[in-house]
Structures are given as structure tokens and as C-alpha cells.
């Protein structure tokens, strides 16, 4: 399965969006096979985050895959580390490593661990997996850029269920207090956590009001609309002097009809027949 | 040994603060990260001189360590300074994942460890910090014995690429190392030669081990005194020498007897060259109310207590 590459910024907007749409579909097709091959993974959350991750890695982030440690690179912190599948596919698509390596996902001694390890894979910024770790780290990278007077930006993707971890609220408070307008948090608001809906488990709403009260600019966006995501990511900060809290409304399992909004697909592994059916739906 | 007993006492936080300012002066990447702990870390001077390089996240230890990891990702060399009890316990998963597993270049400075907070009680004692962090792969742990060693340990931490935990005591300690001493990461210091028994100590207990050796000398026992500032990685050569050349080892630490310096030494000798050992520290209890000095005496962590343990070991008695 061929993977997409990065999308030239000089292309016309419509062309960029068309390529993004195709890239996201290709990434989803690869992800189904990835999880099937590994016999393990978190396909529901991968598919819910795919459009966000694809837009950032292929069209927005200022990165140099040939020099992953380039100091002036934008930082993307994947706080929901269990969505390693979509992260690895995005990194391979962006040119950080040979896509062939994806075949080894979660195999013994593979650098592609179930949760990302930055020592093993170029382009991974933070080791995540335990929830509530990414946002504090993102606050740190944003403070470092602010200290340097640098223009680089930090984007951090958090799961919605993950926001039940208290460390996020420590970080939200600190970022609001400091007015880190070089920081954008995207909440993958698919409404479901491992066992049930977030609102049945430990209510997050009114989520936007909470972030606003912590000093953030809050925006709501369709997390599967590439045009809206691109406009948002290229337009931050929404409000100078404030960090941006983007609530991205998404669907777990997006793109495969029988997985969408089904809590069981948090970490169910698709059979080959289910992969084939999904790939067919994702092939236009 | 009388030189130690008579020498002036110092609060190691002064050497910590002075050294951190000096490091910051020499390297613009050095930043301090605190949890409303400027005063208790004696960083008032740093705050005045480098206000833009002091990140105070407030009373939030998980964020404290996570932010430090992010600062390191952004090219800074963060020194996190916070009361050791909160820094290590409250942020343990961040220390494991964001620092050690990630190889983040962050230096953790655990202020007022052990029972330094005395009568504030067991909530504020940090007698498990070394055990917790020693169980984490890729951590480096230093427990300096005096002011000079504290300053040098910080410099060594700055030069080391990766996470380091340095304990910084507020209890007054004398200088135990000779003038001109050079701290080396992972290396023990033989403060006194001896052939009968080896006392291995670090932190505030080092001076007490030297005093105990003087008492033992009067008993006709020739005790070797080994200062072990680096608990991880341990100086295994020095322990092997103690096991081979003396009749037993007594370890002394201001820490629980579970999982700290004594355990590290025991883990080595039991599989290489078993020798009789005594492990002195806080027994497996929460300490009662009392000043730090009172608590140390209460637990026998003084010259007389160490001497008693050494004599008992050599006589083959328990206790």
C-alpha cells in the first residue's frame, strides 16, 4: 500500500485539500492493515485522529525529516500515545523513516513499540502512553520557544477521555497564565473512552467553558474537515496572547462504517475480512 | 577525625544556589524550574539575576516535571528544584516516562530530603526517594555529603547528557572531603583506610561514619570509611574491594533501609562475594514527631549507633 507524501505549500489551496483527502484515506487503509498485521492496536482512536494528524504532518508542520532534531522545527506532541499507529504512518508518510518498517509494528525488537519511543523513532517528540503527559511537555516546548523569541509552534493532540487526568489541568492553568499563544491544543473529541462515553464516565462538559476559564481561546472545529483544520492550524493563534484550545469534533473509527462511534473498536483488532471491507469503503 | 567534628557546618542549599547561578552565567541554556519553591531552594539570587530563566509553575509537580521535559526538548538544560518528597512522589510517572525513558536532559534537585523537615512529619519526609528512582532504568542518582560535593555534583549533572537526581540537604554538615577534592560521577571516595570493617555512607551520614570510625579506633577496630555519593551507577569496584579486604560492610543512609544505598550494596555483594552486612537507615516505619537531629539519634543514625552496629557485626551478633 503506497503512502502519501508531504504536500507542497505552494500548490493551490483546492489542490492541497484534494491531496489531503486522498492522503488521509490512504493512511486509514494502511492503518487497518497495520493493526491487523500486529494483532494489536487502537484502531478506533487512530481513525478518529487521522485527519488531524495528516493535516499537521503533511500540510502544516515545519519539519525537516532529514534532520529530525532541527532546533527550529515545529513541535507536535502526540499525547494520546496509544494512537501510535496513525502517528507512525504519518511519520513514514512525511519521510522520517522507510514505510517498510511499518511491517514490524509491535513485533519483537521493533522500534515501533505499541506506544512511541522517541529514542527509537526519528520524529517522535515525546514518549507517551500513560495519559496526561503530553500537554505539560507541550507547555515546556512552548515556553522554550518563547524564551528564545522563536517563531516555532507547538501543537499537542490530546484524547478527550485523557482530560480526566489532573496533570492536564495543571498544564492548562500554566499555559493560560503565561499566555502561550505559540501553543495549540487539539482535543480529539470523539466522545468515547475505552469503556464508555466520556459523559457517562466522568463528565467533561462544558469543556469549552472550562478551557476559557483557564485563559485559553476556544474554537470548535469539525475534526474530519481538512479545509477547516488547515484554516485553523495556519491561522493560530486565534487570539494574540492566548493559547488556542481547539475542540475537534470527531468520530471514533471514522471512515469505516461498522467501526464508527462503536466503543468496542477502541482496541478491537479487525479480521482480514473486516480490513478488506474497510479498505473497500475507503477506496473511491 | 576531630577535624571533621570541629569544622564549620554548612547548609548544602547555599552551594546549590551558588553553583546554579554560576552554571547559568556560563551557559544560557540553563534554566531553573520550580513549584513555588524559590525560597526553600534558596533561589532568590537566581530569580533576581535571571528572572527570564526561572519558570515557576506553581504548586503542580506533574506539570513541573513535564514542563521541564518540554524545556529540554526545546534545547534548554532545566534544573528542577523542589522539596524532594513532592518532587519524587507526586511526579514519579513523569520522572519515569518523560525523563528516564525519554532520555530527557533534565536535572532533578531534591531539596531537604530524608528527615530534614523533622517535626513537620512523615508527609514531608523523603525517605523513599532514592529507592523509587533507583528502580527506574537510566536514572543517575547522587547524594552529596557536603557543600563542595553538592556544587561539584551539580556541575557533573550539567555535563552529563541525561536525567540526574541530586539530593540537596538543608541539614548542617561539615566538610568531609579534603580541600581540592574532585567529585567523579560513579566513583566512591575512600575517606579513611581500614582493614577490619568498611563503613559505606553518603549524604548527611558521611560525617557521622567518620566520627564512628574514630570511636572504633579507640575500641581497637580499624574501620575503612567509604563515601558513596553516586548511588546509581554504583562504584562496584570499591564495594568489591571492601568485601574482599575487610570482614564486613555497614551501610548508613538518611533513607529507609528498603531500596536505597544499603540495598544497592547488598544486591552486589550477595551475588559476588557475600560478606556480613548491616544496613542502617530509617527502619521500615513512618517517623514519629521530632526534630531532624532528634530523629536521627532516635534511629541510631549517629556515631554511637554506627559503632554499635560495626561491633555487633564483627562479634557476629545480630543488631
Q: How far lies A107's CA from each of A104, A110, B156, in Å?
A: 5, 5, 38
CB A152 within 8 A of CB A75: yes
| Packing angle, helices A134-148 and B61-73, rounded to 10 | 50
**What's the order of all strands across the beta sheet hosting B30-34?**
B54-56, B30-34, B77-83, B107-111, B164-168, B140-142, B230-232
pLDDT tens sequence across A91-136: 999 999 999 999 999 999 999 999 999 999 999 999 999 999 999 9
Pairing of strands B230-232, B140-142: antiparallel
pLDDT digits (tens, 9 = 90+) for A130-155: 999 999 999 999 999 999 999 999 99
Distance CA B83, CA B92 (A): 13
Cβ contact, residue pair B57, A130, below 8 Å: no
Residue in B65, B67, B71 closest to A174 by CB: B67
CB contact under 8 A, B76 and A147: yes
Q: Measure B28 CA to nearest chain A CA, in Å.
A: 10
Residue in A with minimal Cα distance to B100: A127
Prediction pTM value: 0.96
pLDDT value at position B7? Answer: 73
Angle formed by the axes of helices A13-38 and A272-281, nearest 10°: 170
The answer to whether A24 and A58 are in contact (CB under 8 A) is no
What residues does B282 pair with on adjacent strands?
Answer: B256
Could you say which of B31, B62, B75 has the minimum Cβ distance to residue A136?
Answer: B62
Which one of B52, B73, B105 would you mutate to disrupt binding with A, by most A Cβ within 10 Å of its Cβ?
A: B73
Would you say residue B140 has pLDDT above 80? yes
How do residues B210-265 score in pLDDT, each as one tens digit?
999 999 999 999 999 999 999 999 999 999 999 999 999 999 999 999 999 999 99
pLDDT (average), residues B188-201: 98
Chain B residue set in contact with A, beta carbons under 8 Å: 31, 52-53, 55, 57-58, 60, 62-63, 65-76, 93-94, 97-98, 101-103
Give the distance from residue A214's alpha carbon to the nearest chain B alpha carbon, in angstroms. Answer: 14
Q: With 70 as the cut, is the pLDDT of residue B25 above it?
A: yes
Q: Inter-chain contact B60–A142, Cβ cutoff 8 Å?
A: no
What pLDDT was estimated at residue B3?
A: 47
Nearest Cα residue in chain A from B52: A147
Q: Which residues of B touch A174 (CB under 8 A)?
A: 57-58, 60, 63, 67
Q: Tell me which H or E stretch contains B168.
A: strand B164-168
pLDDT at B319: 61
ipTM of this complex prediction, to 2 decimal places: 0.96
- Chain B residue nearest residue A117, CA to CA: B102
> Please, which residues have CB within 8 angstroms of residue A122's CB and are 6 or more apart in sequence?
A65, A68, A91, A96, A97
B317 band by pLDDT with thresholds 50, 70 and 90: confident
The set of cell numbers assigned to B142 is 547522587
Q: State the pLDDT at residue B1.
A: 41
Per mean pLDDT, which range of A178-192, B2-16, B37-51, B273-287 is the poorest?
B2-16
Q: Do A140 and B62 touch (CB under 8 A)?
A: no
- First CA to last CA across chain B, in angstroms? 25
pLDDT at A230: 98
Question: What is the mean pLDDT for each group of 10 consecutive residues in chain A (284 residues)?
Answer: 91 97 98 97 97 98 98 98 98 98 97 97 98 98 98 98 98 98 98 96 98 98 98 97 98 97 94 97 92
Q: How far is A171 from chain B (nearest CA, A)?
A: 6
Neighbours of A59 (CB within 10 A): 22
Q: Which residues of A touch B73 (CB under 8 A)?
A: 75, 125-126, 137, 140-141, 144
Calculate mean pLDDT across residues B109-130: 98
Closest in B66, B73, B93 to A125, CB measured? B73
For chain A, the distance separating the N- and C-terminal CA atoms, rounded to the nearest angstrom, is 15
Beta strands (DSSP E) in A45-167 are 75-78, 154-159
How far apart are the CA of B121 and the nearest CA of chain A, in angstroms?
Answer: 26
Amino acid at each position: 500500500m503506497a503512502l502519501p507524501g508531504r504536500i507542497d505549500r505552494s500548490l493551490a489551496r483546492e489542490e492541497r485539500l484534494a491531496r489531503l483527502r486522498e492522503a488521509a484515506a490512504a493512511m486509514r487503509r494502511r492503518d487497518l492493515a497495520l493493526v491487523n498485521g500486529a494483532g494489536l492496536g487502537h484502531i478506533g482512536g487512530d481513525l478518529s485522529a487521522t485527519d488531524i494528524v495528516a493535516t499537521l504532518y503533511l500540510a502544516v508542520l515545519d519539519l525537516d525529516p532529514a534532520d529530525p532534531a532541527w532546533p527550529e522545527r515545529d513541535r507536535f506532541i502526540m499525547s494520546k500515545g496509544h494512537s501510535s499507529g496513525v502517528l507512525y504512518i504519518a511519520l513514514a508518510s512525511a519521510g522520517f523513516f522507510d514505510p517498510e518498517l511499518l511491517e514490524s509494528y509491535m513485533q519483537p525488537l521493533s522500534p515501533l513499540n505499541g506506544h512511541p519511543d522517541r529514542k527509537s523513532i526519528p520524529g517522535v517528540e515525546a514518549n507517551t502512553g500513560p495519559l496526561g503527559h503530553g500537554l505539560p511537555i507541550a507547555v515546556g516546548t512552548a515556553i522554550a520557544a518563547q524564551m528564545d523569541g522563536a517563531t516555532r509552534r507547538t501543537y499537542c493532540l490530546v484524547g478527550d477521555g485523557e482530560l480526566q487526568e489532573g496533570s492536564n489541568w495543571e498544564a492548562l492553568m500554566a499555559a493560560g497564565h503565561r499566555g502561550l499563544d505559540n501553543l495549540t491544543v487539539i482535543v480529539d473529541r470523539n466522545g468515547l473512552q475505552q469503556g464508555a462515553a466520556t459523559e457517562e464516565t466522568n463528565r467533561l462538559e462544558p469543556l469549552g467553558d472550562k478551557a476559557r476559564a483557564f485563559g485559553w481561546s476556544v474554537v470548535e472545529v469539525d475534526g474530519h474537515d481538512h479545509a477547516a483544520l488547515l484554516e485553523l492550524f495556519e491561522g493560530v493563534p486565534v487570539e494574540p496572547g492566548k493559547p488556542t484550545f481547539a475542540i475537534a469534533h470527531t468520530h471514533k473509527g471514522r471512515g469505516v462504517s461498522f467501526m464508527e462511534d462503536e466503543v468496542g473498536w477502541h482496541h478491537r483488532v479487525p479480521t482480514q475480512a473486516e480490513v478488506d471491507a474497510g479498505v473497500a469503503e475507503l477506496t473511491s | 577525625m576531630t577535624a571533621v567534628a570541629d569544622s564549620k557546618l554548612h547548609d548544602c542549599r547555599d552551594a546549590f544556589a551558588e553553583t546554579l547561578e554560576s552554571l547559568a552565567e556560563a551557559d544560557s541554556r540553563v534554566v531553573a524550574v520550580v513549584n513555588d519553591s524559590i525560597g526553600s531552594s534558596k533561589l532568590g539570587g537566581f530569580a533576581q539575576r535571571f528572572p527570564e530563566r526561572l519558570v515557576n509553575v506553581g504548586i503542580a509537580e506533574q506539570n513541573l516535571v513535564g514542563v521541564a521535559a518540554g524545556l529540554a526538548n526545546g534545547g534548554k538544560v532545566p534544573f528542577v528544584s523542589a522539596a524532594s518528597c513532592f518532587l519524587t512522589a507526586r511526579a514519579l510517572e513523569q520522572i519515569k516516562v518523560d525523563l528516564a525513558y525519554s532520555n530527557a536532559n533534565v536535572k532533578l534537585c531534591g531539596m531537604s530530603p530524608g528527615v530534614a523537615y523533622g517535626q513537620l512529619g512523615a508527609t514531608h519526609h523523603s525517605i523513599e526517594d532514592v529507592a523509587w528512582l533507583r528502580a527506574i532504568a537510566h536514572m543517575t542518582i547522587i547524594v552529596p555529603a557536603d557543600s563542595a560535593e553538592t556544587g561539584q555534583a551539580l556541575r557533573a549533572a550539567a555535563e552529563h547528557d541525561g536525567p540526574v537526581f541530586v539530593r540537596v540537604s538543608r541539614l548542617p554538615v561539615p566538610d568531609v572531603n579534603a580541600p581540592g577534592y574532585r567529585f567523579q560521577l560513579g566513583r566512591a571516595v575512600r575517606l579513611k583506610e581500614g582493614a577490619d570493617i568498611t563503613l559505606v555512607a553518603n549524604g548527611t551520614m558521611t560525617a557521622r561514619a567518620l566520627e564512628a570510625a574514630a570511636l572504633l579506633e579507640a575500641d581497637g577496630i580499624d574501620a575503612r570509611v567509604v563515601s558513596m555519593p553516586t548511588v546509581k551507577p554504583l562504584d562496584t569496584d570499591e564495594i568489591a574491594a571492601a568485601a574482599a579486604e575487610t570482614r564486613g560492610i555497614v551501610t548508613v543512609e538518611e533513607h529507609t533501609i528498603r531500596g536505597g544505598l544499603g540495598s544497592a550494596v547488598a544486591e552486589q555483594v550477595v551475588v559476588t562475594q557475600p560478606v556480613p552486612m548491616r544496613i542502617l537507615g530509617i527502619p521500615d516505619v513512618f517517623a514519629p514527631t521530632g526534630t531532624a537531629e532528634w530523629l536521627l539519634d532516635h534511629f541510631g543514625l549517629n556515631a554511637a549507633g554506627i559503632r554499635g552496629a560495626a561491633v555487633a557485626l564483627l562479634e557476629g551478633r545480630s543488631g
